[in-house]
Amino acid sequence: MKLISTACPRNCYSTCSFKVAVDKGKIINFEPHPDNRATPEGICLKGLSYKERVYSKDRILYPMEKNRAGIFKRISWNSALKQITEKLEYYRKTAGPQSVLFYESSGMSGLLNEISLKFWELYGGATTSYGNLCWPAGLEASRLSLGANRHNVPWDLENARLIIMWGKNSVETNIQESIPLEKALEKGARLVVIDPRRTPTADKSHLLIQPRPGTDGALALGIAKILIDTGHIDNEFISNHVYGFEEFRNSLSSWSVSKVEKITGIPSPYIQKLASWIGEIQPMTILPGYGMQRYTNGGQTIRCLLSLQVITGNIGKPGACWHYANLQSYVFDKLLEPLSYYPSLSKNTPFRRSISKAKLGIDMLAQRDPELKMAWVERGNPLSQNPDTNTIIKAFRKLEFIVVVDQFMTDTAREASIILPAKTMFEQSDLIGSYWNPYVQLRQKLIEPPGEVKPETEIYRLLAKGLNFSESIIDTHFPDSNDKAIELWLKTKLKVYPDLNYDKLKEGPQMAPNLQEIAFEDYKFDTPSGKIELYSSHAVELWKVDPLPDYIETEENIQENDSKELFYFLTPNTKNRIHSQFGNLDVIKQFDPDPVLDIHPEEAQKRNIKNGEVVRVFNSRGELRIKVRYQLGLRRRCVFTANGWWISEGGGTNLLSAPRETDMGYGTAFHDNLVKIEKIV
């Protein structure tokens, strides 16, 4: 039996290192990897379910084709590849390469994913997507202010004396963060949680603030006004390192406590208490979650929150940190900063036509010259995870041919003409970074793929051959899928960073080159002024928003928030799945068998809805029928169900969401979502 180091490649904060026991080509169990200081105690329940994920009876192990009756039948790889290459040649010839949509998402991270886009470039082009479902409004807001996205190493959190989890539920969605959090609390730190829900993280807090969803920016600006008026700011830090403070101060003249109370619904004593703690307790770390920046005012909300960190001088010191995203370990990726996502901020390569991830369905249907004829989907499940599911279904069903590469029969896979089986993380080596911990890691190949599963790199190599790419192009851009070829390809990438040794990476995680353990400790900010920018001319130029952090009501609330029949539809992540992954596994189902809708019991009883009854949740975009669960810890006029449930499982939160972009960063504003609820008679 061998014990081999690897790391989880999911779209999750932690990016846990762990060791896998392998015996005779089979995965036996998992053990913690103490060399990763951020994740020393081992993987979560989802990580422990990887064994079932590999060996699940429901895993797709062979190419599948949908027949005329809509039933999937197994076919050979030769047949699948022949059909796909014939379709690719046909559409390129008759409609042009941009009639093919290449859609990818974040289901599996890794450096090898760049081979996908190279294939479509060499094919002659494609329609691709821009933006991101996860976090770009916050990334762009932080970049505009600080010049880069980085934060202190995770274990520095134990040095903070005031910790604000603002819209973040780390006990469930970033469980490794609980280690330094507990150490900080043991040392006497105070924990504030700001969330419309009483979460397991809130249960640890000294103060829980429950604002009306989408109004966090107003709360932050009101607190900034109190801090400035009471002198609880760091004038020396502001003088040396902050640009635009006077303009920011002047912009707050109308932000009284009563105004904040009216907008947010938070009683004024709690606003004053939070302000006094922020002004008096040092050092402070704010950890904003990603949910707040998934509203139409999301980018400006993040700028408002960040201003509190700035004016109190809590940047560049131990325990003092704006803890949003740390891209220091993304040394190979185009994600170093989000500019590469944005067609208005960078020159697109000539072959590419891009459509919005946030508006995927309507953009797919709107394409002309050429219209979309075919789609290729990998590492994503857009029918579940993108806004406006009903329009996306319509757009996919208008296509003539769809290929989906996946491990399971997801909502999107069900729409495919051909399904190709995808590898798991244990079946091919790759390099990955993390947006939370500071390590570069090698995800090692541990077992051979089961059935007839082929890694995506091999699929593209075979397609390249089928399309008669030259041998030199194939050998240059599409490494053979054997272990030595992949290892050589990865070692070639490592040559840029001589400190990252492949053999050392096989042993365990390695610190990113040029890492700042305390972010911005040199007080160098890559902004036009060279300082932290409260006033940003780039914000105006790029996004047409106010140069200062400001608050405007979210788009849907402006239209409809005066109706007492409307509920704020909260759809955050859950500990039991990463978006639409893991929930289909038996080990997860025993803890989370069906989707439920949490509602405050008094709101339910007003509508004669009993605990456990099925209700209709609806708006003009769609509806869900879902079982109710009473939850006293939920703010009134809010309802909650976790995102990621497949439609086939009785879920589908994005049946109700609108195809809207955030105010900056081309993010996705699907949390800006109001619904009605009625009892099913």
Residues 6+ apart with CB under 8 A from 371: 95, 99
Stretch 506-534: mean pLDDT: 97
pLDDT band for position 334 (cuts 50, 70, 90) = low
pLDDT score, position 351? 47
Pairing of strands 190-194, 207-209: parallel
**Residue 507 to residue 43: CA distance in whole angstroms:** 18
DSSP of 529-554, one letter per residue? TSSEESS-HHHHHHH-S-SS------
- Domains parsed from the chain with CATH numbers: 64-127+349-421+451-511 (3.40.50.740), 136-328+521-543 (3.40.228.10), 555-679 (2.40.40.20)
Q: 449 or 330, which is more confident?
A: 449
- 562 Cβ contact list (under 8 Å, min separation 6): none
- Assign 567 a pLDDT band (cuts: 50, 70, 90): very high
Beta strands 26-32 and 17-23 are: antiparallel
Please say if the pLDDT value at position 325 is more than 90. Answer: yes
Highest mean predicted confidence (pLDDT) among 103-112, 323-332, 417-426? 417-426
Per-residue pLDDT at 18 exceeds 70 = yes
Q: How far is CA 234 from CA 40, 147, 222, 527, in A?
A: 36, 21, 18, 21
CB within 8 Å of 351: residues ≥ 6 apart: 97, 120, 121, 124, 125, 126
Tell me the mean pLDDT in the region 420-438. Answer: 96
Quick one: pLDDT band at residue 58, thresholds 50, 70, 90?
very high
Cα dihedral sign for 282, 287, 292, 293? positive
What are the φ and ψ backbone dihedral angles of 237, each rounded to 5 degrees? Answer: -60, -45
Start-to-end C-alpha separation, the chain: 59
| pLDDT band (50, 70, 90) for residue 418 | very high
- Rounded mean pLDDT, 178-191: 98
Whether 356 has a pLDDT exceeding 90, the answer reads yes
Mean pLDDT of 109-126: 94
Residue 339's pLDDT is what? 44
Q: Are strands 64-66 and 418-421 parallel, antiparallel or unpaired?
A: antiparallel
pLDDT band at 353 (very low <50, low <70, confident <90, very high): confident
153-157, 239-243, 676-680: least confidently modelled range: 676-680
Query: Residue 559 above 90 pLDDT?
Result: no
Q: Are strands 439-443 and 510-511 parallel, antiparallel or unpaired?
A: antiparallel
Mean pLDDT computed over 176-182: 96
- 106/579 Cα distance (integer angstroms): 10
- Phi first, then psi, for residue 666 (nearest 5°) are 55, 40
Question: Quick check: 360 and 395 in contact, CB under 8 A?
Answer: yes
Is the peptide bond between 370 and the residue preceding it cis, with omega within 30 degrees of 0?
yes
Band of pLDDT at residue 347, cut at 50, 70 and 90: very low
CA 306: distance to chain centroid? 20
Residue 284 above 60 pLDDT? yes
Strand partners, 193: 165, 208
> What residues pair up with 378 in beta bridges, in sequence order?
104, 405
Whether the per-residue pLDDT at 343 is higher than 80: the answer is no
Confidence of residue 166 (pLDDT cuts 50, 70, 90): very high
DSSP 8-state secondary structure symbol assigned to residue 429: -
Pairwise CA distance, residues 263 & 72, whole Å: 52
Answer whether residue 59 shows pLDDT above 80.
Answer: yes
pLDDT of residue 348 exceeding 70, the answer is: no
At 333, the pLDDT band (50, 70, 90 cuts) reads: low
Range 86-105 average pLDDT: 97
How many residues are there in the chain? Answer: 681
Distances (CA, A) of 176 to 41, 171, 199, 526: 8, 8, 16, 30
Instruction: For residues 497 and 512, give the distance between their C-alpha atoms in angstroms, rounded to a whole number.
Output: 9
What is the pLDDT at residue 562?
57
Handedness of CA 534, 537, 539, 545 (dihedral sign): positive
Answer whether residue 340 shows pLDDT above 60. no
Per the DSSP assignment, residues forming a β-bridge with 12 are none
Instruction: Tell me if the bond preceding 283 is cis, omega within 30° of 0.
Output: yes
pLDDT surpasses 50 at 548: yes
Contact 43/449 with Cβ under 8 angstroms?
A: no
pLDDT of residue 195: 98
If you average pLDDT over residues 616-623, what whole number do you get? Answer: 96
CA distance linking residue 50 with residue 8, whole number of Å: 10
The chain-wide mean pLDDT, for the chain, equals: 94
Q: What is the pLDDT of residue 561?
A: 56
pLDDT band of residue 352 (cuts 50, 70, 90) is low
Q: What does the pLDDT average to over 389-397?
A: 98
Asked whether residue 344 carries a pLDDT value surpassing 50, the answer given is no
Distances (CA, A) of 222 to 270, 299, 307, 457: 12, 18, 11, 52
Give the C-alpha separation, 131 to 357, whole Å: 6
Mean pLDDT of 2-10: 95
What does DSSP say about strands 401-406 and 418-421: parallel, antiparallel, or unpaired?
parallel
